[in-house]
Amino acid sequence: MMDAIVIGGGLAGLATATALSSLSLQVELIETKPFVGGRAASYMLPGIKTEIDNCQHVLLRCCVNLLDFYERLGVADEIEFFQEFYFLEPGGRMSKLKRGSLPAPLHFAESFWRATYLGLADKVALGRAMLAIQRERRSRNDLESITMLDWLHEKKQPARVIERFWRQTLVSAINIELDQMAASHGFQVIWLGFLCRNDSYEMGLSKVPLGELYRRAAAARVHGSVEAVDLDRGVLVDGDWRKARCYVSAVPAERAAKLMPSLKIDATAFAPSSITGVHLWFDRSVTDLPHGTCLDRQIQ
């Protein structure tokens, strides 16, 4: 009998299986698709015969759980970190955000002061809000019940600052709009990514396709379709019941509700937040920047 069966080979399932395996437990990972990674996967593009990621996935230094996962896989060296962000305005003017000589949480003060995509009044308002996050993140008890947009309006953030900094940063990180995210979640991103340490903002990109990055985590993967889960009989995979000492579900809520009806999971309490990736191929070089943030656009 296996020690654990993990259902679902997305990032959550892979991280769970890897962590359990590192404890010398026998783990079986069951994934329906012929590849692992879920939304963080790669596929071969027909006609071009090159492996591309289904979407650009980035991480920050503050993503300690993901970095721990990469360390366990032995692929941490495949992540390249960048210390500069480039904000591109319509027309081509560029501002650069990077760490300065001051200690955290003031390490961005110099580059913010030089940035052109925000005016002086905008910068003063943004600075006030940053100081308020540092002050209020532990003192307020309503941050779960108000939205981040509510909080920004409370702090009288100008529309330009909301659009060019808060929305650009937080929607990219959390993947829902400011009027949908709890203020506590916005606080966490800003505190961990911008304020608590002077290197936590550094952005990491995989130097290899995500499929290659996660391939090592799929060693114990079983390709099959889970049809049902019963706490007494185990997991039904393609007509065959498999048993283990414990089971971990790492599938979306609506899928878990169908597999385990006896648990009465209310899938309506969860709403999906979709990501659409757009890949463009150019017939010539268009920039020498390693990456860039386009302002005043609908894309993130």
**Quick one: average pLDDT of 151-180?**
95
Kindly indicate the confidence band of residue 221, based on its pLDDT and cuts at 50, 70 and 90: low
Q: Determine contact, residues 78/213, Cβ cutoff 8 Å.
A: yes
What is the three-state SS of 71-132? Answer: HHHCCHHHEEEECEEEEECCCCCEEEEECCCCCCCCCCHHHHHHCCCCCHHHHHHHHHHHHH
pTM: predicted TM-score of the whole model, two decimal places: 0.86
pLDDT of residue 216 exceeding 60: yes
Kindly indicate the confidence band of residue 223, based on its pLDDT and cuts at 50, 70 and 90: confident
Q: Determine contact, residues 44/191, Cβ cutoff 8 Å.
A: no
Q: Where are the domains of the chain?
A: 2-77+207-269, 97-201
Which residues, 6 or more positions from 284, have their beta carbon under 8 angstroms from its beta carbon? none
The mean pLDDT value of the chain amounts to: 92
Q: What DSSP string describes 113-181?
A: HH-SSS-HHHHHHHHHHHHHHHHHTTT-S-TTTSBHHHHHHHTT--HHHIIIIIIHHHHHHHSS-TTTS
Look at 50 and 264; give whichever has higher pLDDT: 264
> What is the distance between the terminal CA atoms of the chain, rounded to a whole angstrom?
46
Q: Determine contact, residues 119/177, Cβ cutoff 8 Å.
A: no
Alpha carbons 120 and 124: distance in angstroms, whole number:
6
| Closest by Cα among 268, 229, 266, 233 to 249 | 229
Q: Determine contact, residues 119/95, Cβ cutoff 8 Å.
A: no
Kindly indicate the confidence band of residue 54, based on its pLDDT and cuts at 50, 70 and 90: confident
Alpha-carbon torsion 227, 230, 235, 240, what sign? negative
Kindly indicate the confidence band of residue 69, based on its pLDDT and cuts at 50, 70 and 90: very high
Q: Determine contact, residues 214/69, Cβ cutoff 8 Å.
A: no
Domains 2-77+207-269 and 97-201 share a fold: no
Task: Name the superfamily (CATH) of residues 2-77+207-269.
Answer: FAD/NAD(P)-binding domain (3.50.50.60)
Which residues, 6 or more positions from 76, have their beta carbon under 8 angstroms from its beta carbon? 67, 70
**Quick one: average pLDDT of 109-134?**
95
Peptide bond just before 105 cis, omega within 30 deg: yes
Give the CA radius of gyration of the chain. 22
| 97-201 maps to CATH 1.10.405 | yes
- 10 Å Cβ neighbour count for 84? 14
Whose tokens are 């304020």? That residue is 195
**Quick one: average pLDDT of 263-292?**
89
Q: Give whichever of 127-136, 167-176, 279-288 has the largest mean pLDDT.
A: 127-136
pLDDT of residue 220 exceeding 70: no
